[in-house]
Amino acid sequence: MDSILVTGNGPLQGQIPIAGAKNACLTLMPATLLSEEPLTLTNAPRLSDIKTMTQLLQSLGAEVSALQDGQVQAMSSHNLDNHVADYDIVRKMRASNLVLGPMLARLGQAVVSLPGGCAIGARPMDLHIHGLEALGAEIDLRDGYLHAKAPGGLKGAVIDLAFASVGATENILMAATLAKGTTVINNAAREPEISDLADCLRKMGAQIEGDGTSRIEVQGVDRLHGATHQVVTDRIELGTYMLAPVICGGEVELLGGRMDLVGAFAEKLDEAGVAIEETDAGLKVRRRGDRVKAVNVTTEPFPGFPTDLQAQMMALMCTADGVSVLEEKIFENRFMHAPELTRMGARIDVQGGTATVTGVERLKGAPVMATDLRASVSLILAGLAAEGETLVNRVYHLDRGYEHVVSKLSGVGAKIERIKGT
């Protein structure tokens, strides 16, 4: 199993290109199931999760080709010959459940295994199921599979989500594009990936209003056509690399970065003593002093502080001046990186969904183990700020969400290398 070796060696300088958003691309790819005509995605990230979604779509009969070194995904679903999303593929990735809504809408039936993914909480399918049932679907769970059918087609409805779930909003939104009549999703998720999906669906002929707000209205159409769409910048990769020069000094420009994607995160960095400058090419980041100030963080749905940047922010707070409190309100079990940071000399006390971090002058390199995607990159960031060598084990998680992390960081001066497992 591969590992990543990081040696703390001072300030970073240069530019890091930010990829297209993993979470957006994994949502956009199933949208091909809604139409017989081709859907082409540009600015696609080159990640293992994208390959998994490709395998899933191909298993359903879709044609998927990765072009231009994987940055273009050319898809066509003109000849779907299977409506069963098998456990062997779905278990690898949570986003696999996003084929449910499109298949129901276009084929009138779908059998989808309950999904897998990172071990950061249960994240049940209840909201997806209730929303699709409100549209007229009949769904029951048998042997670990959701068996769904809509023999009379889907029909518009008013759906009140109990929680602003991103996945449920996406599944319902896609299904509603081909439902008869008007669908209203109340308490809809407001993440940029939702708006990116809506933009793509509109290019395909969907009638959608209100994305980016908590109320989305969809007027169903008879069919959708093909389109070409550019995947939005990955705000989580952007936020992650914004922290690199903050943790170990220097100044880095994030190419393709946009402030509107990281508003709440950028506000916390400003409070901590970080300078963020908008440039023609993206965002330029540096810390104002020798050491950042401790700040408190509470994760919230967008536009609040992202749960997917909590682990990385904790790594920063480990060497901040003062005491910070990080409260995780989105997922349970999302402080599994804390014991690993403690191995590097961090002072962290976890009580339930709250972590109290007392900043230390310097971390020390140590062997650590990644427990999930965001935890793995937080340990790499910590290694950049540590004395000596940090060996991050089990980095297969990393390949699910960050493309070319070693070359991107070494390109700005980090001493980092990937060690192949035996």
Q: Is 339 annotated as a binding residue?
A: no
In the chain, domain spans: 3-19+234-419, 22-230
Distance CA(95)–CA(86), nearest Å, equals 13
What digits encode the pLDDT tens for the residues 40-81?
A: 999 999 999 999 999 999 999 999 999 999 999 999 999 999
At the topology level of CATH, where does 3-19+234-419 sit?
A: UDP-n-acetylglucosamine1-carboxyvinyl-transferase; Chain (3.65.10)
At the topology level of CATH, where does 22-230 sit?
A: UDP-n-acetylglucosamine1-carboxyvinyl-transferase; Chain (3.65.10)
Backbone angles phi, psi at 144, to 5 degrees: 80, 5
Return the pLDDT at 91: 87
Q: Known catalytic residue: 318?
A: no
Q: Is 94 annotated as a binding residue?
A: yes
Distance CA(219)–CA(205), nearest Å, equals 11
Return the pLDDT at 296: 98
Quote the tokens at residue 381: 């960031």
Return the pLDDT at 259: 97
Neighbours of 107 (CB within 10 A): 15
Closest to 56 (Cα-Cα) out of 79, 36, 83, 23: 83
pTM of the model: 0.93
Return the pLDDT at 207: 98
- Which one is catalytic: 25, 118, 248, 318? 118
Q: Is 127 annotated as a binding residue?
A: yes
Q: Is 22 annotated as a binding residue?
A: yes
What digits encode the pLDDT tens for the residues 151-201?
A: 899 999 999 999 999 999 999 999 999 999 999 999 999 999 999 999 999
Distance CA(40)–CA(295), nearest Å, equals 42
Q: Is 9 annotated as a binding residue?
A: no
Return the pLDDT at 26: 97
User: Within the chain, which residues score under 50 in pLDDT?
Assistant: 117-122
Return the pLDDT at 125: 86
Return the pLDDT at 94: 82
Q: Is 57 annotated as a binding residue?
A: no
Question: Tokens 């909590």 correspond to what residue?
Answer: 310
- Please say whether the beta carbons of 34 and 273 come within 8 A: no
Return the pLDDT at 401: 87
Tell me whether domains 3-19+234-419 and 22-230 share a fold: yes
- In degrees to the nearest 10, what's the CA dihedral of 359, 360, 361, 364? -130
Return the pLDDT at 122: 45
First to last CA, the chain: 7
